[in-house]
Structure 1
Amino acid sequence: MSSFVIRGVHDVVSYIDARPGISGRAGLIWWLALGGLFLDAFSNSALSAGLGPMTKDLQLSATQVAVLTSLASWVAIVFNPIGGWMADKWGRIPPLVFAKFLALAGAAFAAFAPSFELVLVGRFFVGAAYGIDFAIAMALLAEFTPARFKSRLNTWQGIWYCAVSANLLLAIMFYNMGAGESIWRYAVGSAGVVALTLFIAQLLYMVESPTWAARKGLVDRAAASMSKIYGEKFSAAPVEDRSPIVNQATKGFANIALIFRGIYLPRTILAATIQIGQSIQYFAVGWYLPIISLTLFGQDFVVATLGALVFNLFGILGGFLSPAIGKKFGLRKASAIGFGAVFVMLLLLGLFYQSLPIVLAFLIPSLFILFHSGGPGANGKSISTLSFRSELRAGANGVIGALGSTGAALGLLVFPLLKQNLGLGPTFLILAIVPLAACVVCSVIKWDPTRAPVSPDEELNAPQFKSDIQQAELNRV
């Protein structure tokens, strides 16, 4: 049986890019990584569907609701870069599996918590798991995806809304079972079941990223991973025949500075803008859709939850369409269009929500979610993941993800406070500023990784990039 010889990262990337699809063990790894993102969405939205009953159950004030709902995102701000650093230093798989353990612990604490304070402890662990997992999972997905399929990374957005919708369906089921004001406990407990299942599956079937190993100079490990993943024989070239590693980033947290220099700076600004903008608009509006539904459709729990479910079905549609939209328009342009459309929807809600006929009361929030999920909702993390080379990828995702988590935390924090003090209409109008500003930035910065001539892992060997990167990295070769 002939053996593929691996000399360096170019051979790994070239082999993966030549694959006709993402199948076999690679496909299983790809979907298990997406399963982790399902868990992140499921855990984050577990309180959303039952927030009304939970507020009554624990007799929470508006301030307590704001703190509780935003805590996981504040924690994720810290753990996003920590997770990225761990993954770039030690590999993708160990921190991914550890994140599932943290999610399981967070679900257990929250589900059985007798007090508000212990629910906060549970949400702390959920935030840590979310922060670690998201940056790494997206990096891993990119490293198993052939170049012509890169827009498929946006599939995570459809998975997110599937998780949110599953929570809403479970909430209706638990309500009909007579769970009453304890619905939220069942929701967060269900997240623990998902976390345990994924913990076992990822432990058994995940394989380390060969792209990461090759960029770290671990060619033997990269060859071993390739053999496990693709079922063919790969071997490492003799040391003297291996490709040199150009400008390898080896200084841990100091590598973070590299994404703010040279060719990486506009990429970082673009990805961060999309991440922050989409996080604020989603977590200030989309996450609170069950509460908004109560305002729009009355105080019946099942009717309001079904209304929120309809909204999120548009999220599933937009999320699974986003790879095709991104392929047609490019991730940057699709984000600009999506932000512009979301701006219009928020204006309409802000000006007319009290007088909307029932059809438009359903349609406008549904279109908000559709335009969000089909454009910027998916693209911030995809652009971040695809814009940096392997040993910077998870770390960059961590930093940019932390900025996105800041946006999420602000959205979760300000919505209940603005709604209480100003009312729903003015709240929508204030939030409309966010997608408008993000649309402008997406229109000005022209970088798009799906339109780039070479992969970031191979830019270091491309003449047109060498001088810029070497200057940016202060001649560290």
Structure 2
Amino acid sequence: MASPSNPAAETISGVPHVAALINKLERLPGKANLLWYLILGGLFLDAYSNAALSAGLSPMVEELGLTATQVGLLTATAPAIAIVFNPIGGWLAARIGRVKPLLLAKIIAVAGALLTAYSGTFEAVWCGRALVGVAYGIDFAVAMAMLAEYTPTKLKGRLNLWQCVWYIATTTNLALTLVFFKFGIGTDIWRWSVGSAAVFAGALFVLQLLFLVESPAWLASQGRLADAAKCLHRIYGFNVVAGDRAETREEQPAIGFRHTGVLFRKPYLARTVLSTMISLTQSMQYFAIGWYLPVISLAIFGEQFEKATVGSMVFNAAGIVGGAASAYIGRRMGLRMSSAAGYAMAFVLLLTLGLGFGNLPTLLAFAVPFLFIFCHSAGPGANGKSIAALSYRSDIRTLGTGITGMLGSFGSVIGLYIFPLIKESLGLGPTIALLSAVPLLGLITCLIIKWDPTRTSIDPDEEVIDLQARELAGR
């Protein structure tokens, strides 16, 4: 229905209508595309900040004289803190919108990177990494939800590009670390590596502050249909106006942690379990193996920092290719089955690398982790976050991505903290073989639970859920 003051305009009446308008698009217009990649830039920063410590880990251990326990604590700090701030970020985004938490995360990321770079003690480095974890936890939960809300149904698979961006960020940090190495910086190279993250965070803060537009779906879920109409016009060029019977924000129940139970009831229970298990197992296998690629490279190519760094960059190139391919593979196979295929390959490759470590020919010792990173990034590496972002309606989407992200982050902590301790006790090969059980668990989960958001014709925002008001009222 058209507005009397603007006969050509279409009237929006709520979230389902907003979602339907966006889902009709065959492609994103230029402004929406720019904003889409600007949000994705935050995930680049998250990955870059995580990789920054990894690239300079050996020099930092040497300079500060860290024990294996201290290394485990430092590497696990950011994802451990993210466990708490994933749901906090989701809660903030549900209450105050998507843009403000994203900007807050960039400010915290700048502070964390600078504190780490100028630290002289283990305790100071730990505090810096804790701030990085806060930023990472807030940003990831909100950014994935906002990307899902910006994206029409036919393009949902492109959410998996976050995985490609993750490896591009990791490779960029390794390349810069190599440049710093060439300048003869010495053991301080880790300071330059983590400090450079502050530059990226600062630049991204300015760009997002200037250009980001609030999610129309979130605005509509708050009853702010006039604001939603304006944002739809700014992002997509839609000529729309708010309906006469638009609900006011005051009439909408405020989303809080008490509504978490909605995620564990029909129709969301299976979706929550699947996205959580994929997020948990993929992060465990990545942060136990992928994050330690410089260490694995040293074992394969010898104790030379330059060769190990180049080896890590080549490994991450597999992640870039796999992450880029994940959007296509996910569209063709579905997110669930592409995850299952990736887990199956990861299981075989980890078992092979672990049992044969130290005895494999150099070419095979290189090829196995290369293929592992490719299969990981093309399958489950991307899909846990994407499934979570695509499985919930707008009013609870950030709460869903935050809670499942929190549960999934336990995999990162387990991988980063336990891996150095097991490796010190058993050696690198047996530890890798032991970790092959992780993708096996992920494979079993994908085969049991059948939900796939790319294989349903109904957007969660367009689902008819009779008990929605009762759920949000906590009755």
TM-score category by the smaller chain?
over 0.9
2:126 matched to 1:120? yes
Q: How does 1:379-418 map to 2 (within 5 A)?
A: 379-418=383-422
How big is each residue's C-alpha offset from its partner over 1:419-467, in whole Å with a ceiling of 9 and x where there is no partner? 101101110121111110110010010000001120111112xxxx64x
- The 1-side partners of 2:258 and 2:119 are apart by 40
- TM-score calculated relative to the size of structure 1: 0.95
Question: Which among 84, 88, 94 is matched to residue 88 of structure 1?
Answer: 94
- The 2-side partners of 1:266 and 1:400 are apart by 12
Q: Secondary structure at the match of 2:241?
A: strand
Give the deviation of 1:228 after TM superposition.
1.8
Question: Which among 54, 58, 65 is matched to residue 59 of structure 1?
Answer: 65
Using the TM superposition, name which of 247-256 and 73-82 deviates more: 247-256
2:205 matched to 1:199? yes
- The 1-side partners of 2:377 and 2:422 are apart by 24
Pick closer, same or farther for the CA change 1:446–1:249 going to 2, 3 Å: farther
Counterpart for residue 106 of structure 1: 112
- The 2-side partners of 1:37 and 1:372 are apart by 18
Counterpart for residue 439 of structure 1: 443
CA contact (8 A) 2:116 2:128 kept: yes
Counterpart for residue 179 of structure 2: 173
Pick closer, same or farther for the CA change 1:248–1:348 going to 2, 3 Å: farther
Counterpart for residue 471 of structure 2: 473
Give the deviation of 1:251 after TM superposition.
4.1
How many residues are treated as equivalent by the alignment?
468
Using the TM superposition, name which of 224-233 and 100-109 deviates more: 224-233
Question: Which among 11, 30, 41 is matched to residue 24 of structure 1?
Answer: 30
- The 1-side partners of 2:200 and 2:382 are apart by 22
2:248 matched to 1:250? no
2:33 matched to 1:35? no
Question: Which among 226, 231, 237 is matched to residue 220 of structure 1?
Answer: 226
How big is each residue's C-alpha offset from its partner over 1:273-294, in whole Å with a ceiling of 9 and x where there is no partner? 0000001000000000001111
- The 1-side partners of 2:457 and 2:160 are apart by 20
Which stretches in structure 2 are left out of the alignment for 5+ residues? Answer: 1-5
Give the deviation of 1:24 after TM superposition.
2.0
Give the deviation of 1:295 after TM superposition.
1.1
Counterpart for residue 264 of structure 1: 268
Counterpart for residue 378 of structure 1: 382
Question: Which among 333, 354, 357 is matched to residue 353 of structure 1?
Answer: 357
Question: Which among 155, 170, 187 is matched to residue 161 of structure 2?
Answer: 155
Give the deviation of 1:475 after TM superposition.
8.8
How big is each residue's C-alpha offset from its partner over 1:341-387, in whole Å with a ceiling of 9 and x where there is no partner? 10101100111011111111110000010000000000000000101
Q: Secondary structure at the match of 1:287?
A: helix
% identity of equivalent residues:
51
- The 2-side partners of 1:44 and 1:346 are apart by 23
CA contact (8 A) 1:249 1:392 kept: no
Counterpart for residue 194 of structure 2: 188
Which stretches in structure 1 are left out of the alignment for 5+ residues? Answer: none
- TM-score calculated relative to the size of structure 2: 0.95
- The 2-side partners of 1:189 and 1:432 are apart by 34
2:346 matched to 1:342? yes
CA contact (8 A) 2:91 2:255 kept: no
Q: Secondary structure at the match of 1:22?
A: coil
CA contact (8 A) 1:88 1:392 kept: yes
Code of the aligned partner of 1:319: G
Counterpart for residue 285 of structure 2: 281
Give the deviation of 1:255 after TM superposition.
1.4
Code of the aligned partner of 1:47: L
Pick closer, same or farther for the CA change 1:19–1:418 going to 2, 3 Å: same
Q: Secondary structure at the match of 1:354?
A: coil
- The 2-side partners of 1:118 and 1:4 are apart by 56
Counterpart for residue 11 of structure 1: 17
- The 1-side partners of 2:323 and 2:371 are apart by 13
Shift >6 Å, 4+ stretches: 474-477
Question: Which among 407, 419, 426 is matched to residue 423 of structure 2?
Answer: 419
- The 2-side partners of 1:157 and 1:434 are apart by 19
- The 1-side partners of 2:73 and 2:155 are apart by 40
Q: Secondary structure at the match of 2:139?
A: helix
Give the deviation of 1:268 after TM superposition.
0.6
Question: Which among 238, 249, 252 is matched to residue 244 of structure 2?
Answer: 238
Question: Which among 443, 448, 452 is matched to residue 452 of structure 2?
Answer: 448
